[in-house]
Protein backbone atom coordinates (compact mmCIF):
# COMPACT_ATOMS: atom_id res chain seq x y z
CA UNK A 1 0.00 0.00 0.00
CA UNK A 2 1.36 3.42 -0.92
CA UNK A 3 0.92 5.62 2.11
CA UNK A 4 1.01 9.35 1.51
CA UNK A 5 0.51 10.46 5.08
CA UNK A 6 -0.68 9.55 8.52
CA UNK A 7 -2.69 11.42 11.09
CA UNK A 8 -1.75 9.69 14.30
CA UNK A 9 -4.88 10.59 16.20
CA UNK A 10 -8.36 11.62 15.16
CA UNK A 11 -11.51 11.90 17.24
CA UNK A 12 -13.73 12.97 14.35
CA UNK A 13 -12.93 10.85 11.28
CA UNK A 14 -14.34 7.58 12.63
CA UNK A 15 -17.73 8.18 14.28
CA UNK A 16 -17.54 7.31 17.97
CA UNK A 17 -14.02 5.87 17.78
CA UNK A 18 -10.50 6.99 18.56
CA UNK A 19 -8.58 6.39 15.38
CA UNK A 20 -5.59 7.09 13.20
CA UNK A 21 -6.04 8.11 9.57
CA UNK A 22 -4.00 6.72 6.71
CA UNK A 23 -3.91 8.79 3.52
CA UNK A 24 -3.59 6.53 0.49
CA UNK A 25 -1.91 7.84 -2.62
CA UNK A 26 -3.69 8.21 -5.95
CA UNK A 27 -7.25 8.72 -7.10
CA UNK A 28 -9.23 7.86 -10.23
CA UNK A 29 -11.31 11.07 -9.92
CA UNK A 30 -10.21 14.66 -10.53
CA UNK A 31 -12.80 16.67 -8.62
CA UNK A 32 -11.73 20.24 -9.47
CA UNK A 33 -12.47 21.46 -5.95
CA UNK A 34 -10.58 18.59 -4.23
CA UNK A 35 -8.15 19.80 -1.58
CA UNK A 36 -6.01 16.67 -1.53
CA UNK A 37 -4.09 17.49 -4.71
CA UNK A 38 -0.81 16.29 -3.21
CA UNK A 39 -2.37 12.83 -2.89
CA UNK A 40 -4.18 12.86 -6.22
CA UNK A 41 -1.95 14.47 -8.85
CA UNK A 42 1.04 12.23 -9.67
CA UNK A 43 3.31 15.23 -10.26
CA UNK A 44 2.59 16.54 -6.75
CA UNK A 45 2.90 13.34 -4.78
CA UNK A 46 5.81 13.62 -2.37
CA UNK A 47 6.79 11.31 0.46
CA UNK A 48 5.99 12.69 3.90
CA UNK A 49 9.01 12.91 6.23
CA UNK A 50 8.31 9.87 8.39
CA UNK A 51 5.63 7.92 6.60
CA UNK A 52 6.79 8.12 3.01
CA UNK A 53 5.48 6.39 -0.09
CA UNK A 54 5.29 2.67 0.53
CA UNK A 55 6.30 2.97 4.19
CA UNK A 56 3.96 0.22 5.30
CA UNK A 57 6.48 -1.16 7.75
CA UNK A 58 6.72 2.16 9.58
CA UNK A 59 2.96 2.34 9.76
CA UNK A 60 2.59 -1.11 11.30
CA UNK A 61 5.34 -0.37 13.80
CA UNK A 62 3.42 2.77 14.74
CA UNK A 63 0.20 0.74 15.14
CA UNK A 64 1.92 -1.83 17.33
CA UNK A 65 2.72 0.91 19.79
CA UNK A 66 -0.87 2.22 19.81
CA UNK A 67 -2.77 -0.95 20.66
CA UNK A 68 -3.98 0.44 23.96
CA UNK A 69 -4.85 3.87 22.62
CA UNK A 70 -6.54 3.49 19.26
CA UNK A 71 -9.74 1.66 18.38
CA UNK A 72 -9.67 2.02 14.64
CA UNK A 73 -7.92 3.04 11.47
CA UNK A 74 -9.47 5.24 8.79
CA UNK A 75 -8.37 4.60 5.23
CA UNK A 76 -8.88 7.66 3.08
CA UNK A 77 -7.25 9.21 0.09
CA UNK A 78 -7.04 9.73 -2.63
CA UNK A 79 -9.12 6.66 -3.30
CA UNK A 80 -8.08 3.56 -1.33
CA UNK A 81 -9.93 1.07 -3.57
CA UNK A 82 -7.63 1.71 -6.54
CA UNK A 83 -4.94 -0.25 -4.68
CA UNK A 84 -4.90 -3.98 -5.39
CA UNK A 85 -3.26 -4.72 -2.04
CA UNK A 86 -6.00 -2.95 -0.05
CA UNK A 87 -7.61 -6.22 1.16
CA UNK A 88 -4.23 -7.48 2.41
CA UNK A 89 -3.56 -4.14 4.11
CA UNK A 90 -6.96 -4.22 5.85
CA UNK A 91 -6.41 -7.84 6.86
CA UNK A 92 -3.17 -6.92 8.64
CA UNK A 93 -4.84 -4.03 10.48
CA UNK A 94 -7.79 -6.19 11.53
CA UNK A 95 -5.46 -8.96 12.69
CA UNK A 96 -3.94 -6.48 15.12
CA UNK A 97 -7.37 -5.92 16.63
CA UNK A 98 -8.30 -2.55 15.11
CA UNK A 99 -11.53 -1.61 13.39
CA UNK A 100 -11.24 -0.33 9.82
CA UNK A 101 -13.21 2.52 8.29
CA UNK A 102 -13.06 2.98 4.52
CA UNK A 103 -13.60 6.36 2.86
CA UNK A 104 -14.46 5.86 -0.81
CA UNK A 105 -15.78 7.65 -3.85
CA UNK A 106 -17.90 4.60 -4.64
CA UNK A 107 -16.44 3.99 -8.08
CA UNK A 108 -15.35 0.43 -7.32
CA UNK A 109 -18.36 -1.59 -6.13
CA UNK A 110 -16.52 -4.87 -6.75
CA UNK A 111 -13.76 -3.94 -4.30
CA UNK A 112 -16.31 -2.65 -1.81
CA UNK A 113 -18.34 -5.84 -2.01
CA UNK A 114 -15.26 -7.99 -1.55
CA UNK A 115 -14.00 -6.04 1.48
CA UNK A 116 -17.40 -6.37 3.13
CA UNK A 117 -17.74 -10.06 2.25
CA UNK A 118 -14.29 -10.84 3.65
CA UNK A 119 -15.12 -8.88 6.80
CA UNK A 120 -12.14 -6.58 6.28
CA UNK A 121 -13.90 -3.28 6.96
CA UNK A 122 -16.31 -2.16 9.68
CA UNK A 123 -17.60 1.19 8.50
CA UNK A 124 -17.86 2.90 5.12
CA UNK A 125 -18.15 6.61 4.32
CA UNK A 126 -19.11 7.00 0.68
CA UNK A 127 -18.99 10.30 -1.16
CA UNK A 128 -21.82 11.26 -3.47
CA UNK A 129 -20.36 14.00 -5.61
CA UNK A 130 -23.46 15.29 -7.37
CA UNK A 131 -26.80 14.22 -8.81
CA UNK A 132 -26.34 11.67 -11.62
CA UNK A 133 -26.63 14.17 -14.47
CA UNK A 134 -23.93 16.43 -13.00
CA UNK A 135 -21.52 13.72 -11.87
CA UNK A 136 -18.90 14.19 -14.61
CA UNK A 137 -18.51 17.89 -13.86
CA UNK A 138 -18.21 17.36 -10.13
CA UNK A 139 -15.76 14.46 -10.44
CA UNK A 140 -13.70 16.07 -13.20
CA UNK A 141 -13.77 12.94 -15.40
CA UNK A 142 -16.38 10.80 -17.14
CA UNK A 143 -18.07 8.64 -14.54
CA UNK A 144 -20.07 5.47 -14.88
CA UNK A 145 -22.86 6.38 -12.49
CA UNK A 146 -24.02 2.77 -12.70
CA UNK A 147 -21.00 1.92 -10.53
CA UNK A 148 -21.96 4.63 -8.05
CA UNK A 149 -25.48 3.21 -7.97
CA UNK A 150 -24.10 -0.29 -7.35
CA UNK A 151 -22.06 0.95 -4.39
CA UNK A 152 -25.08 2.77 -2.99
CA UNK A 153 -27.13 -0.42 -3.28
CA UNK A 154 -24.43 -2.56 -1.66
CA UNK A 155 -24.38 -0.27 1.35
CA UNK A 156 -28.12 0.27 1.62
CA UNK A 157 -28.92 -3.42 1.30
CA UNK A 158 -26.06 -4.71 3.41
CA UNK A 159 -25.38 -4.98 7.11
CA UNK A 160 -22.24 -2.88 7.45
CA UNK A 161 -22.47 0.47 9.22
CA UNK A 162 -22.10 3.35 6.75
CA UNK A 163 -22.76 6.96 5.88
CA UNK A 164 -23.23 8.88 2.66
CA UNK A 165 -21.70 12.30 2.45
CA UNK A 166 -21.25 15.19 0.06
CA UNK A 167 -18.87 18.09 0.19
CA UNK A 168 -20.95 20.88 -1.25
CA UNK A 169 -20.04 24.24 -2.70
CA UNK A 170 -22.05 26.90 -4.52
CA UNK A 171 -19.88 26.70 -7.67
CA UNK A 172 -20.85 23.03 -8.18
CA UNK A 173 -24.13 22.46 -6.36
CA UNK A 174 -27.46 24.24 -6.26
CA UNK A 175 -29.84 23.59 -3.41
CA UNK A 176 -31.91 21.49 -5.84
CA UNK A 177 -28.84 19.40 -6.73
CA UNK A 178 -28.23 18.48 -3.12
CA UNK A 179 -31.92 17.75 -2.66
CA UNK A 180 -31.76 15.48 -5.66
CA UNK A 181 -28.82 13.57 -4.09
CA UNK A 182 -30.88 13.20 -0.89
CA UNK A 183 -33.75 11.83 -2.97
CA UNK A 184 -31.34 9.43 -4.69
CA UNK A 185 -30.18 7.94 -1.38
CA UNK A 186 -33.61 8.25 0.23
CA UNK A 187 -34.03 6.53 3.61
CA UNK A 188 -30.34 5.81 4.13
CA UNK A 189 -29.38 5.92 7.80
CA UNK A 190 -27.53 9.21 7.61
CA UNK A 191 -26.36 11.77 5.08
CA UNK A 192 -23.63 14.27 5.94
CA UNK A 193 -23.28 17.61 4.20
CA UNK A 194 -19.69 18.71 4.48
CA UNK A 195 -18.45 22.25 4.24
CA UNK A 196 -15.99 22.99 1.44
CA UNK A 197 -12.56 24.35 2.38
CA UNK A 198 -11.05 26.54 -0.36
CA UNK A 199 -7.42 25.49 0.05
CA UNK A 200 -4.91 24.07 -2.47
CA UNK A 201 -7.55 22.73 -4.82
CA UNK A 202 -6.92 20.63 -7.95
CA UNK A 203 -8.25 23.50 -10.06
CA UNK A 204 -6.68 26.57 -8.40
CA UNK A 205 -9.69 28.67 -9.46
CA UNK A 206 -11.64 27.00 -6.65
CA UNK A 207 -9.27 28.41 -4.04
CA UNK A 208 -11.06 31.73 -4.50
CA UNK A 209 -14.52 30.23 -4.10
CA UNK A 210 -16.72 31.33 -1.26
CA UNK A 211 -18.27 28.35 0.55
CA UNK A 212 -21.94 28.19 1.52
CA UNK A 213 -22.78 30.20 4.63
CA UNK A 214 -24.00 28.44 7.77
CA UNK A 215 -27.54 29.66 7.03
CA UNK A 216 -27.43 28.32 3.48
CA UNK A 217 -26.13 24.95 4.67
CA UNK A 218 -28.90 24.77 7.27
CA UNK A 219 -31.49 25.60 4.66
CA UNK A 220 -30.17 22.84 2.37
CA UNK A 221 -30.10 20.46 5.32
CA UNK A 222 -33.78 21.15 5.99
CA UNK A 223 -34.86 20.22 2.46
CA UNK A 224 -32.65 17.10 2.43
CA UNK A 225 -34.21 15.99 5.70
CA UNK A 226 -37.44 15.35 3.80
CA UNK A 227 -35.74 12.35 2.18
CA UNK A 228 -32.94 11.25 4.48
CA UNK A 229 -31.71 12.09 7.98
CA UNK A 230 -29.19 14.81 7.17
CA UNK A 231 -26.46 16.22 9.38
CA UNK A 232 -23.97 19.03 8.84
CA UNK A 233 -20.24 18.51 9.15
CA UNK A 234 -18.71 21.97 9.22
Question: Which residues are at the interface with ligand SF4 (CB under 6 A)?
Answer: 27, 29-31, 34, 36, 40, 77-79, 105
Cβ closest to ligand SF4, residue 105 vs residue 108: 105
Give the three-state DSSP class for 95: helix
Shortest gap between Cβ of 96 and ligand SF4 (angstroms)? 26
Q: How many CB atoms lie within 10 A of CB 205?
A: 11
Shortest gap between Cβ of 31 and ligand SF4 (angstroms)? 3
Cβ closest to ligand SF4, residue 28 vs residue 114: 28
Shortest gap between Cβ of 66 and ligand SF4 (angstroms)? 25
Cβ closest to ligand SF4, residue 34 vs residue 120: 34
Yes or no: say if 110 and 151 are a contact pair by the CB < 8 Å rule: no
Cα dihedral sign, 6-81-179-169: positive
Shortest gap between Cβ of 27 and ligand SF4 (angstroms)? 3
Cβ closest to ligand SF4, residue 26 vs residue 92: 26
Q: How many CB atoms lie within 10 A of CB 82?
A: 20
Amino acid sequence: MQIGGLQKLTLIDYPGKIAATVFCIGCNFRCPWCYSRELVLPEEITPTPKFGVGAEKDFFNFLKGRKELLEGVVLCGGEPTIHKDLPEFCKKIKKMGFLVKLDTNGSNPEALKNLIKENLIDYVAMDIKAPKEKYNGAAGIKIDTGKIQESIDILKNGKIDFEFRSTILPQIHTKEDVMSIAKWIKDAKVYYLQQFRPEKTIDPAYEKCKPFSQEELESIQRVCNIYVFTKLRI
